[in-house]
Amino acid sequence: MTNKKTIGELIEDEVRRQQIPIKEFANMICCERNNAYHIFNRSKMDILQLKKISKALNRNFFKELSEDVELIIDSEESEEYVVKQKAVSQFFNVVPDILRKLGKSSTIVFCKLDEPEYEDCPTPDFGLSDQFITFTIGETLQERIGNCATLPISPISNNDGCMVEVCTNIVYGTILVNIKLDYKTLDEWYNILAFAFETYERYVK
- Whether residue 200 sits in one domain with residue 113: yes
Q: Is there a single domain that holds both residue 106 and residue 197?
A: yes
| Of the candidates 182, 186, 187, the residue with the CA atom closest to the CA atom of residue 86 | 182
Q: What is the dihedral of CA 88, 92, 98, 99, to 10 degrees?
A: 110
Tell me if 44 is assigned to some domain: yes
Residues 126, 67 share a domain = no
List, for residues 158-189, the tens digit of each pLDDT value: 998 999 999 998 888 889 999 999 999 999 99
CA–CA separation, 92 vs 71, rounded Å? 14
By DSSP bridging, strand 174-181 and strand 163-169 are antiparallel
Q: Is the pTM of this model over 0.85?
A: no
- CA angle, residues 71, 130, 126, in degrees to nearest 5: 30
Instruction: Mean pLDDT check: name the lowest of 12-26, 49-63, 136-150.
Output: 49-63
| CB-neighbour burial class of residue 21 (10 A; exposed 0-12, middle 13-18, buried 19+) | exposed
Residues 102 and 121 in one domain: yes
Rounded to 5 degrees, φ, ψ at 179 are -120, 135
Q: pLDDT tens-digit profile of 64-109?
A: 776 666 666 655 566 777 778 788 888 988 999 999 999 999 988 8
Report, as an integer, the average pLDDT of 112-122.
Answer: 57
Helices and strands counted in the chain (H then E): 8, 6
Helix axes 79-101, 47-57, angle to 10 degrees: 50
Look at residue 51 in the predicted model and tell me its pLDDT: 82
Regarding whether 92 and 56 lie in a shared domain, the answer is no
Whether 180 and 84 map to the same domain: the answer is yes
Q: Are residue 172 and residue 90 in the same domain, yes or no?
A: yes
Task: Output the CA–CA distances (angstroms, integers) from residue 159 to 28, 129, 162, 204, in the order listed.
Answer: 45, 28, 7, 22
Domain count, the chain: 2
Helix axis angle for 79-101 and 186-204, nearest 10°, is 70
Residues 6+ away with beta carbon under 8 Å from 127: 108, 109, 110, 111, 133, 134, 135, 176
Asked if 52 and 104 sit in the same domain, the reply is no
Q: Residue 1: its pLDDT value, please?
A: 39
Residue 2 phi, psi (nearest 5): -125, 150
Integer Rg of the chain from CA: 18
Tell me the residue range of the domain where 21 lies.
7-72
